[in-house]
Amino acid sequence: MFKNLLITVFLIITNNLISYSQTVGTINNTQDAYNGYTLLAPIRSTETYLINNCGQVINQWSSAHFAAASVYLLENGNLLRTAAIENPEISFGGVGGKIELFDWDGNLIWEYIYSSNLVSQHHDIFPLPNGNILMLAVTTMDTNEAIQAGRDPSKLEDGKLYNEQILELERVGTNQANIVWEWNIKDHLIQDFDSNKDNFGVIADNPQLLNINYLIGTNSGANWLHVNSIQYNEGLDQIVLSTRNLSEIYIIDHSTTTAEAASSSGGLYGKGGNFLYRWGNKEAYNKGNSSDRTLFAQHYPHWIPNGLTDEGKIMVFNNGTTSSASSVDIINPPTSTSGFYTYDSNGYLPTVAEWQYIDPIDPTNFFSGILSSGQRLPNGNTLICDGDSGYFFEIDTNNNKVWEYINPVATTEILSQGTVPTIGQNIVFRAIKFATDYPAFTGRDLTPGDPIELNFDISGCQILSVDEYSINNLVTIYPNPSNDIISLKSDLTIDEIEIFDLFGKKIKKEKYNDQIDIQNLSSGLYLLKFYSDNKFGVKKFIKE
């Protein structure tokens, strides 16, 4: 598997040449990578980091609690994060119970606990443009309530059922909040199991409702849905949420009042809190079977922001089945007018994703069974977080990996350069890269510190501007391929050259004198790094 090999093989690098010995931190940083700052909150850590492309820490925030899952860097420089606190009655992956807000300097300026024997915040939150915060939570339906709602009693393994809930919080003081809006999945159920109970109806005729008895496999525990993400679209005033256990995403209307959100009417789109759209698993609403399924335990569905490639479409990390393959998918839900989704008699479209990244060599080389994210970047690249390996990689439009990073924060320690992390040791929920001109950075001290990993070595990594890369296109190698002599054709004065093999080993370093003797090199592909007036470029050449 690629995950076991990626840190022991050399990855072709252009603007920096880091050897194969790099096992954590920045593994690959090329001139085609988007130059920005990446935010990560290792799940088994109390720290949140902002790093540059060389892995150097630009800022760091410390909490008394492990991250529950998501973190957000706000435009004013504040950090909004989930925090995991103990709750013996509600315990599953992603349970937090607390939200924290830190300023840029790491001062805790607000906190809010939503945790008891019957409720808990979990997984995700979202900072709204009006300053309020959307919070994802579960509340507990006891046996009687679940059965009255139409749940098959044989599917109540834990004697209770979790209702997924979204609350909108208005911050008050330093540790309080007003709940100004609320949505609950239990208000939008359907069942065809018992006509004497609530929510009875024909499931296939009501795709806007959730079948309370649909399960994938035998997962009849309280955590039957496991919603792992909520994201917001300001222009549409809609929320997209993701249920891992049912392999579906749902879009709901946020413009409703709380009363409308509990009903089937009202709001901009006239459907109250019912689903406006759903995708990923048509079997869940009796419009298909398991062969029609397009999502598998997915994470982080979100609208691609305006101004980016594929703006307005939905990107999602499609985790895949156990020991299978993951992908990053983009879908474009069909609409009649903006925000009004069309419905085909055979189910919600499209039938398949319109864009997909899978490993180009072997799909099974790229697999994360849990966590993970994808993000479209301003230069058209895509940042991917392979969460169960703590591995981030950025691909260009040709699916070439142009930046790679391995989280060095492990379960109980910070790993040292040269230590190989094992799968699951350094997990990360999500990774997001920010442009260097993001408003949070205005007026801040962005002097890079040391990388996170111990015994670091980033001597070969350089953060350069676009202008500093420009000489790469001003130089040509000829003849290429060659078996004896190569030269550089350019109007520039080339001062020095270095040659590296594909294992990162430096083969040659010398002043440049019109010709480079490669007769003693073995046949194969090499990288030539050349310097001119404090700038450099990298070219590939083939020795025949």
Alpha-carbon 234 to chain mean position: 20
pLDDT, mean of residues 232-236: 98
Q: Which residues of 249-277 are buried (b: 16+ CB within 10 A; e: fewer)?
A: bbbbbbebeeebbbbeebbebebbbbbbb
pLDDT, mean of residues 428-434: 98
Nearest to 68 by CA among 57, 52, 80, 50: 80
Supply 93's token pair: 């992956």
Do 125 and 98 form a contact (C-beta atoms < 8 A)? no
13 falls in which pLDDT band (50, 70, 90)? Answer: very low
| Whole-prediction pTM | 0.83
Poorest-pLDDT segment among 176-185, 373-382, 452-461: 452-461
Do 310 and 317 form a contact (C-beta atoms < 8 A)? no
246 - beta bridge partners? Answer: none
Supply 87's token pair: 């709750």
pLDDT reading at 6 higher than 70: no
C-alpha 244/C-alpha 298 separation (Å) is 6
Query: Among all chains, which residue has been given the structure tokens 């979790």?
Result: 162
Q: What is the reported pLDDT for 529?
A: 84
Give me the amino acid identity at 205.
Answer: D
Mean per-residue pLDDT of the chain: 92
Q: Catalogue the long-range contacts made by 265-268 (C-beta closer than 8 Å, 24 or more residues apart).
A: 268/237, 268/339
Q: Strand 108-113's sheet: what is its strand order?
A: 67-73, 79-84, 97-102, 108-113
pLDDT reading at 7 higher than 90: no
Query: Where are any strands of DSSP class E within 244-322?
Result: 248-253, 277-279, 299-303, 314-318
pLDDT reading at 425 higher than 90: yes
Higher-pLDDT residue of 176 and 512 is 176
pLDDT reading at 466 higher than 60: no
525 - beta bridge partners? Answer: 542
Q: What is the reported pLDDT for 540?
A: 84
Query: Among all chains, which residue has been given the structure tokens 């060389």?
Result: 54
pLDDT, mean of residues 28-41: 95
Give me the amino acid identity at 232.
Answer: Y
Supply 449's token pair: 């510190």
pLDDT reading at 513 higher than 50: yes
Using DSSP, state whether 80 is helix, strand or coil. strand
Strand 189-190 and strand 210-211: the pairing is: parallel
Q: What is the reported pLDDT for 11?
A: 34
Nearest to 248 by CA among 221, 220, 211, 273: 211
Q: List CB contacts of 342: < 8 A, sequence separation 6 or more.
A: 334, 335, 336, 349
C-alpha 152/C-alpha 141 separation (Å) is 14
How many C-beta atoms surround the C-beta of residue 407 within 10 A?
30
How many C-beta atoms surround the C-beta of residue 374 within 10 A?
26
State pLDDT tens for residues 235-271. Answer: 999 999 999 999 999 999 999 999 999 999 999 999 9
SS (H, E, C) 356-374: EECCCCCHHHCCCCCCCEE
Q: What is the reported pLDDT for 463?
A: 65
C-alpha 281/C-alpha 278 separation (Å) is 8
How does DSSP classify residue 185? Answer: G
C-alpha 142/C-alpha 21 separation (Å) is 54
What are the helix and strand counts (H, E) for the chain? 4, 36
C-alpha 21/C-alpha 460 separation (Å) is 12
Q: What are phi and psi of 168, to 5 degrees?
A: -105, 125
pLDDT reading at 227 higher than 70: yes
C-alpha 373/C-alpha 251 separation (Å) is 18
pLDDT reading at 524 higher than 90: no
